[in-house]
Amino acid sequence: MEPGLNMSTRNQSRRSALKGALVGVTGLAVVGGAVGAGVLFSEQSSQGAHAAAPNQATPVANTQAITAILNIAATAETLAVTFYSQVLSHADKLGLKEATRINLKATLVEEQLHLLFLNKQGAKSAAKNFSFPFGRDTFKNLELFLKTQQQLESAFVAAYLAAVKELAMLGRPDLAQVAAQLAAIESEHRVVGRLIGAMLPIDNEAFPPLLLKNVAAAPAFLKGAGYLSPRNDNTFEFHAVLTRGAGVTMTMPTMVQTTTITPAPTTPPITNATPAAHLKF
């Protein structure tokens, strides 16, 4: 069961779990071609998503590169929705408290909103079925869940940071700004995992590490780490989730200057929310 955050003795098992999660970010990343956090997850070929300067490529090539970046992002967000859906459906087995479930529900909704935005730009996920490095045990064991969560969110942050640079180089500062917004939220999701694991300080990075050389490296990492090889009992199918009722605001970017974006209706306030002061993590 997930312990509380009020007493240091109750925090010990959580800190141990997140310590294992940090090992997961460094150790599991080796599978994808990395030697540890703070260095590149992968230095695979940059064909497809890696951007060249606008004056070094044709408009058609730039468009193809932008499409590749958005498709990779859509694949990552589809994986994220699948992951957090499974986490919440196994919350009892993971021993997650009420407040933690609320935080993870908001995280799930945010990932779905990210995917909806990308879909509006014409992006398509390369997969609808995913696997996880620890299979179904990922959603039965708190330490394995945290290892997976920390690795995924660190990779998502790194991919979006790479996308900021590449999209700007490709002449799409509007999408580059959105990529920065997405990186910011994925970083918050990483902190949610640290909160669950009772690791102090909760926000421990002054600058997120640039773990990916370019966006094109992300699929190779995800495949190598065990997320894109569904088989037998290690297959998890994507299902879209509703985006209302989780307390999430700013459901679409507001500063993007592109005609393909249609603002979503404002999420209504939750009237039956439990006061945060009475929740235990």
pLDDT digits (tens, 9 = 90+) for 171-214: 999 999 999 999 999 999 999 999 999 999 999 999 999 999 99
Q: How far is CA 73 from CA 36, 169, 182, 194, in A?
A: 23, 17, 10, 23
Burial (CB count within 10 angstroms: exposed 0-12, middle 13-18, buried 19+), residue 207? exposed
Residue closest to 217 by CA, chosen among 43, 74, 28: 43
Query: What pLDDT is stored for residue 22 in this prediction?
Result: 58
For residues 143 and 149, what is the distance between their CA atoms, to the nearest angstrom?
10
Mean per-residue pLDDT of the chain: 82
Enumerate the β-bridge partners of residue 236: 130
Query: What pLDDT is stored for residue 16 in this prediction?
Result: 55
For residues 240 and 138, what is the distance between their CA atoms, to the nearest angstrom?
20
In this predicted model, which residue has the larger pLDDT, 206 or 20?
206
Residue 278 above 60 pLDDT? no
Among 13-22, 24-33, 184-193, 255-264, name the one with the lowest average pLDDT.
Answer: 24-33
Average pLDDT over residues 87-98: 98
How far apart, in Å, do the first and last CA atoms of the chain sit? Answer: 11
**Secondary structure of residue 236 in the 3-state scheme:** strand
Percentage of the residues of the chain whose pLDDT score is greater than 70: 70
Give 190's contacts (C-beta < 8 A, 6+ positions apart). 149, 150, 153, 154, 157
Residue 151 above 70 pLDDT? yes
Burial (CB count within 10 angstroms: exposed 0-12, middle 13-18, buried 19+), residue 252? middle
* pLDDT tens by residue, 54-66: 556 789 999 999 9
Among 10-24, 41-55, 111-125, 172-186, name the one with the lowest average pLDDT.
Answer: 41-55
Entry pTM: 0.78
Residue found under tokens 């945010």:
110
Do the beta carbons of residue 195 and residue 11 sit within 8 Å? no
Which amino acid is located at 192 in the chain? Answer: V
* pLDDT tens by residue, 235-272: 999 999 999 999 999 999 986 554 444 444 444 443 44
Write out the DSSP string of 50-115.
SPPPGGGS-HHHHHHHHHHHHHHHHHHHHHHHHHHHHHHHTHHHHT--HHHHHHHHHHHHHHHHHH
Query: What pLDDT is stored for residue 280 in this prediction?
Result: 52
Give 248's contacts (C-beta < 8 A, 6+ positions apart). 106, 109, 110, 113, 267
Which residue stretches of the chain are H helix?
8-27, 59-89, 91-94, 98-120, 142-169, 173-196, 217-225
Query: What pLDDT is stored for residue 58 in this prediction?
Result: 87
